[in-house]
Amino acid sequence: MPSSSEAGQPGVLVFDLDDTLYCERDFAFSGFAAVEAHLARLHGNAVVPGTCRALFESGTRRAIFDSALERFGIASGPDRIAKLVTLYRHHRPQIAPCPDTSRFLERDPRPRAIITDGPAAMQRSKIAALGIGPLFGLIIPTGDLPPGMGKPHPRAFEQVMEWSGKPGPDHVYIADNPAKDFIAPKRLGWRTVQIDRACRVHAPEPPSPDHAAEIRIASLDELADPLRLKDPAGFA
């Protein structure tokens, strides 16, 4: 029988995690709630639940905990912020896969892997909370790699090829952030798909043509047809 690539379809599906298989903001909201619950145990009614989320939704992306502590009238400082960040990263996430993620993973039988940036323990706890780990043959949090080998470094993508034993065009990377996600796989000959979810955190526009994926979709429900590639120069 012909291989999947000979039949016109990439044989190995590789996914990003955050804002690809679930909404990253849900992890943020879960972490904010854990941090505020911790602070409320220490400082009582001075802590107003939902403050961190409101700051996030108003556009704040940096120093959210500093801003929240200021609103609560609680002294800040590097040590306290570091402890809150650790609690945020290591809390038990209350998150779920996007509905289209579950539908796609149930119906597509091809080998699958995950390449995700971020601290390894945090990313693995997300995958455990989502309950999707057993559906993937390989999971690479780049935090497990030596420093400097997160995306856009090619090492994680090379590891997937070593695992699959297949050439670059037999792989497709589905991810959300064109600033870093597609440079390495494109150079290795992979196919690339950008998923542009309404809940996304990162800007969806690529900073240059080299950063752009071959196609853009809004849901994994749209992925089946583009994966039926007929021309190695582009998507059918």
Inside any domain, residue 57: yes
Return the pLDDT at 226.
66
Q: Alpha helix locations (H) across the chain?
A: 24-43, 51-57, 64-72, 78-90, 99-107, 120-130, 155-164, 183-187
Inside any domain, residue 3: no
Last residue of a domain, one of 90, 111, 140: 90
Same domain flag for 149 and 213:
yes
Inside any domain, residue 107: yes
The 10s digit of each residue's pLDDT in 166-184 is 999 999 999 999 999 999 9
64-72 helix and 78-90 helix, angle to the nearest 10 degrees: 110
Same domain flag for 61 and 165:
no
- Whether the pLDDT of residue 234 is over 60: the answer is no
Query: What percent of the chain lies above the pLDDT cut of 70?
Result: 91
Same domain flag for 141 and 204:
yes
Same domain flag for 111 and 81:
no
Same domain flag for 101 and 138:
yes
Same domain flag for 107 and 180:
yes
The 10s digit of each residue's pLDDT in 59-76 is 888 899 999 999 999 999
Return the pLDDT at 232.
37
Alpha carbons 236 and 228: distance in angstroms, whole number: 7
Return the pLDDT at 11.
85
Same domain flag for 67 and 130:
no
Q: What is the mean pLDDT of residues 85-112?
A: 95
State the residue range of the domain holding 174. 12-23+95-222
CATH number, position 197: 3.40.50.1000
Alpha carbons 218 and 207: distance in angstroms, whole number: 19
The residue whose two tokens read 């497709």 is: 172
Inside any domain, residue 125: yes
The 10s digit of each residue's pLDDT in 121-139 is 999 999 999 999 999 999 9
Same domain flag for 56 and 119:
no
Under the banding of pLDDT at 50, 70 and 90, the label for residue 3 is: very low
Same domain flag for 54 and 109:
no
Inside any domain, residue 4: no
Alpha carbons 173 and 215: distance in angstroms, whole number: 11
- Whether the pLDDT of residue 7 is over 80: the answer is no
Last residue of a domain, one of 75, 90, 105: 90
Inside any domain, residue 214: yes
Domains contained in the chain, number: 2
Inside any domain, residue 111: yes
pTM to 2 decimal places: 0.89
Give 45 or 5, the one with higher predicted confidence.
Answer: 45
Inside any domain, residue 229: no
Torsion over CA: 226, 229, 234, 236 (sign) = negative
Same domain flag for 192 and 158:
yes
- Whether the pLDDT of residue 189 is over 50: the answer is yes
Q: What is the mean pLDDT of residues 182-197?
A: 96
Q: What is the mean pLDDT of residues 216-231?
A: 75
- Whether the pLDDT of residue 191 is over 90: the answer is yes
Same domain flag for 160 and 67:
no
